[in-house]
Amino acid sequence: MKNAISALLLGTALAFAAGSVAFAQDKNIKIGVLTDNSGLYSDLSGAGSTLAAQMAVEDSGMAAKGWKIDVISADHQNKPDIAVNIARQWVDVEKVDIFMDVVSSGVALAVNNLVKEKNSVMINAGAATSDLTNAQCSPNTIHWVYDTYMLANSTGQALVKAGGDTWYFLTADYAFGTALERDTTAVVVKAGAKVIGTVKHPINSPDLSSFLLQAQASKAKIIGMANAGGDTTNTIKQASEFGIVAGGQKLAGLLLFITDVHSLGLKVAQGLSFTETFYWDLNDGTRAFAKRFSVRMKSKAQPSMVQAGVYSGLLHYFKALEQLGGNPHDGAKVVAKMKEMPTDDPLFGQGSIRADGRKIHPAYLFEVKTPAESKGPWDYYKLIGTTPGDQAFRPLSESACPLVKK
Amino acid sequence: MQALYAQLLVGLINGSFYALLSLGLAVIFGMLNIINFAHGALYMMGAFCAYFLLNLAGIGYWPALILAPIVVGIFGMILERTMLQWLSGLDHLYGLLLTFGIALIVQGLFQNYFGSSGLPYAIPDELKGGINLGFMFLPIYRGWVVVFSLVVCIATWYLIEKTRLGANLRAATENPTLVRAFGINVPRMITLTYGLGVGLAALAGVLSAPINQVRPLMGADLIIVVFAVVVIGGMGSIMGSIITGFALGVIEGLTKYVYPEASNTVVFVLMVLVLLVKPTGLTGRAA
């Protein structure tokens, strides 16, 4: 009996040892790009995000070091229920290690819960809601590119400073729009402006003129567009049609992407100012990446900040895994390692990841060039201001995230 | 109160798109008995056609207003000849599934090549600017859309209900064999009718190109509402679909003013109410 027990103990010990050896040598990574492949955000994320992930894999040189990396992608159709189903299957069946992109705030918040429950990893590059690193923060999630607080902070302050002291919001009626409106309201009210009204419109509205007329009637100096993608481009186009800008009101694009500007054309978009954290023509590093990216895109588009974020986020993830010496398939452990290490890549420069999962880098205030200023397709932005990383995002002292020790 | 007038007018503008599209659907359903789910995709093709004419051939808005419906109409007639005609006499479901599939394929192809954000199409110079009506600033282009679609709708109604050609057409739907006996080529007439319905969709597409972005999904966003309009108006009723198109645009406009969050559901609530009270639609005849 005694022998039997010691044999059993020995066996267990051996199994443990074998297990840890296997663990140290496990160099398999499976990346799941969960994105909008067919809807209104598919140009700013979509296939371009999957391409960015593949480029990150190629550029990391991980394959030469014995790593085996797979990239898979799926269309969440901007529907949280569909996204969560795919995510569950990815973790349980496909053994996906990391979720990338996850554009659209409603989807991101839903997947955020699942990723935490399954101890997976999410580097969110696409969604805007600042709740991901505030009340809803998670030890498994990093919010990489931008968030509603940062957009509000940079664009909102700049516009109030330029004399925009009355605001009216045109808000997309879902998690993202509500968050963006809330965060912008806080910033502009603090800066001394007044919000005199708001109207919520259903997401994906082809005609926004009714809402624009209400904004026009409010006589607010600034009409804040708390929407994104096709909704924003339609708002801008129809606002110019109804003479809103000509009548002296100013449109504030709280979230615009380069793909939106491209779609609008400079004639309509010129003069808009808004905030992004990446522009392809910012420096040599971004230009080199953009050049390689656009030749591989079917539409020959330059990368959006979301797609750039997928690339940059993955590079950092790979660095963390290399430091760990293998893939532990333990999301919280990898994310903790990523937070320890400073970030550095050609697209976003040097930065860091905070305890709440917020990636820190500078925010740039851009103005859209006039057709005369632009040298050709995709030459769209003028840089008019930079907010340093430590001032761009919500300060940890205001954070409601339980991961932040106070 | 001023805001209310403005909303009514904007509703009327949207209503003209509903009317044009539901009119095409009603013509096709009434004459061919096909529930044309490809209508939204064909509307989108009309807008893209205008975009291509401008950017590839330098042909502007006015010729496009005529050319695009013809081009897309021919595409529709090819569809009818090669596929839809084999479904005549079968259950509605087959036509619905086929056209739905065609819509998905067409949209998918366009999205593959042009992305989802869309392409810009400018308002023609003659219709730029706007008039201050006192209670609102009316862009001239929008006014033009209302007037033009009203004219087109009434002309179509007149063609089908009041002319000899229309009479033949209606007779052919009732009893094709008998009409053939009079020496009228019924299959050709059906093909042309489908072409007409499709042309109306493409025309709506050209009209909307300067207002909305020219996007592959522009039809998909609209078509569900238009189907609700057709159901409310009564399947196959020409005048019914015109009137309900405009009326629902106005009702939707009012909802956007009173309770914006419900603006994309109000049409469907109305549809449910109408179906409960009068299942054939407001102006429909019992089957």
Q: What does the domain layout of chain B look like in residue ranges?
A: 2-277
Helical axes B238-258 vs B218-233, angle rounded to 10°: 110
Least confident piece of the model among A78-87, A220-229, B85-94: B85-94
Least confident piece of the model among A34-38, A60-64, A239-243: A239-243
Cross-chain Cβ contact A241/B211 below 8 Å: yes
Least confident piece of the model among A2-11, A63-72, A164-173, A331-340: A2-11
The pLDDT of residue B287: 46
SS (H, E, C) A10-69: HHHHHHHHHHHHHHHHCCEEEEEEEECCCCCCCCCCHHHHHHHHHHHHHHHCCHHHCCEE
A39 contacts in chain B (CB < 8 Å): 116, 217
User: How many CB pairs below 8 A link A and B?
Assistant: 113
B6 contacts in chain A (CB < 8 Å): 213, 217
A262 contacts in chain B (CB < 8 Å): 117
The pLDDT of residue B9: 86
The distance of A213 to chain B (nearest Cα, Å) reads: 7
Residue A223's closest CA among A190, A247, A206, A205? A247
Q: What ipTM goes with this model?
A: 0.78
Domains annotated for chain A, with CATH where assigned, are: 29-146+282-361 (3.40.50.2300), 149-280+363-392 (3.40.50.2300)
Angle at A238 between CA A46 and CA B257, to 5 degrees: 105
A268 contacts in chain B (CB < 8 Å): 120
- Mean pLDDT over residues A164-169, rounded? 95
Percent of chain A with pLDDT over 70: 94
Cα–Cα distance measured from residue A51 to residue A293, given in angstroms and rounded to the nearest whole number: 8
B14 contacts in chain A (CB < 8 Å): 207
Each residue's pLDDT tens digit, A277-307: 999 999 999 999 999 999 999 889 999 999 9
The pLDDT of residue B285: 61
Confidence label for A5 from pLDDT (cuts 50, 70 and 90)? low
Half-sphere exposure (CA, 13 Å, Cβ side) for B282?
Answer: 19
Cross-chain Cβ contact A213/B218 below 8 Å: no
**Could you say which residues from 217 to 276 on chain B have a Cβ atom under 8 Å away from some Cβ of chain A?**
217-218, 221-222, 253, 256-257, 260-261, 263-264
Question: Which letter does DSSP use for residue B126 in this model?
Answer: G
Question: Looking at the partner chain, which of A204, A263, A267 has a beta carbon nearest the beta carbon of B117?
Answer: A263
| β-pairing verdict for A381-387 and A363-368 | antiparallel
Each residue's pLDDT tens digit, B70-114: 999 999 999 999 998 888 778 888 999 999 999 999 999 998 888
Cα–Cα distance measured from residue B197 to residue B160, given in angstroms and rounded to the nearest whole number: 12
Question: Which letter does DSSP use for residue A402 in this model?
Answer: T
Contact B249, B15 (CB under 8 A): yes
| CB of A377 less than 8 A from some CB of B | no
Cα–Cα distance measured from residue A368 to residue A241, given in angstroms and rounded to the nearest whole number: 19
Cross-chain Cβ contact B213/A38 below 8 Å: no
Q: Cβ of A134: how many Cβ atoms within 10 Å?
A: 23
- Mean pLDDT over residues B118-127, rounded? 87
The pLDDT of residue A22: 46
Cross-chain Cβ contact A243/B136 below 8 Å: no
CA distances from A184 to A169, A171, A178, B160 (A): 10, 11, 10, 55
Q: For tokens 């923060």, what's the residue?
A: A137
Percent of chain B with pLDDT over 70: 98
Best mutation target among A219, A241, A262, A306 (most B Cβ atoms within 10 Å) is A241
Strand, coil or helix: B221:
helix
Residue type at B235 in one-letter notation: M
The distance of B123 to chain A (nearest Cα, Å) reads: 9
**Could you say which residues from 292 to 331 on chain A have a Cβ atom under 8 Å away from some Cβ of chain B?**
298-299, 301
The distance of A161 to chain B (nearest Cα, Å) reads: 29
| CB of A229 less than 8 A from some CB of B | yes
Each residue's pLDDT tens digit, A325-361: 999 999 999 999 999 999 999 999 999 999 999 999 9
Each residue's pLDDT tens digit, B208-238: 998 888 889 889 878 888 999 988 988 778 8
Q: Return the structure tokens found at B143.
A: 């006014």
A247 contacts in chain B (CB < 8 Å): 137
The pLDDT of residue A20: 47
Confidence label for B176 from pLDDT (cuts 50, 70 and 90)? confident
Each residue's pLDDT tens digit, A8-58: 555 555 455 444 444 556 899 999 999 998 888 889 999 999 999 999 999
Report chain A's mean pLDDT, rounded to a whole number.
91
Best mutation target among A75, A210, A237, A268 (most B Cβ atoms within 10 Å) is A210
| CB of B141 less than 8 A from some CB of A | yes
Is the pLDDT at B46 greater than 80, yes or no? yes
The distance of A311 to chain B (nearest Cα, Å) reads: 21
Cross-chain Cβ contact A241/B11 below 8 Å: no
Statement: B2-277 belongs to CATH 1.10.10: no
Helical axes B218-233 vs B39-57, angle rounded to 10°: 140
Counting other chains too, the contacts that B125-128 makes at CB distance below 8 Å and 24 or more residues apart are none
Distance of CA B53 to the CA centre of its chain: 21
Is the pLDDT at B7 greater than 70, yes or no? yes
SS (H, E, C) chain A: CHHHHHHHHHHHHHHHHHHHHHHHHCCEEEEEEEECCCCCCCCCCHHHHHHHHHHHHHHHCCHHHCCEEEEEEEECCCCHHHHHHHHHHHHHHHCCCEEEECCCHHHHHHHHHHHHHCCCEEEECCCCCHHHHCCCCCCCEEECCCCHHHHHHHHHHHHHHCCCCEEEEEEECCHHHHHHHHHHHHHHHHCCCEEEEEEEECCCCCCCHHHHHHHHHCCCCEEEEECCCHHHHHHHHHHHHCCCCCCCCEEEECCCCHHHHHHHCHHHHCCCEEEECCCCCCCHHHHHHHHHHHHHCCCCCCCCHHHHHHHHHHHHHHHHHHHHCCCCCCHHHHHHHHHHCCEEECCCEEEEECCCCEEECCEEEEEECCCCCCCCCCCCEEEEEEECHHHHCCCHHHCCCCCCCC
B11 contacts in chain A (CB < 8 Å): 210
Report chain B's mean pLDDT, rounded to a whole number.
89
Q: Which residue has the higher pLDDT, A364 or A14?
A: A364
Question: Which letter does DSSP use for residue A140 in this model?
Answer: T
Residue A43's closest CA among B98, B83, B125, B217? B217
Confidence label for B263 from pLDDT (cuts 50, 70 and 90)? confident
Best mutation target among B142, B256, B264 (most A Cβ atoms within 10 Å) is B256
Least confident piece of the model among A125-134, A354-363, B163-172: B163-172
The distance of A191 to chain B (nearest Cα, Å) reads: 29
Q: Which residue of A has its CA nearest to B134?
A: A217
Angle at A135 between CA A134 and CA A140, to 5 degrees: 75
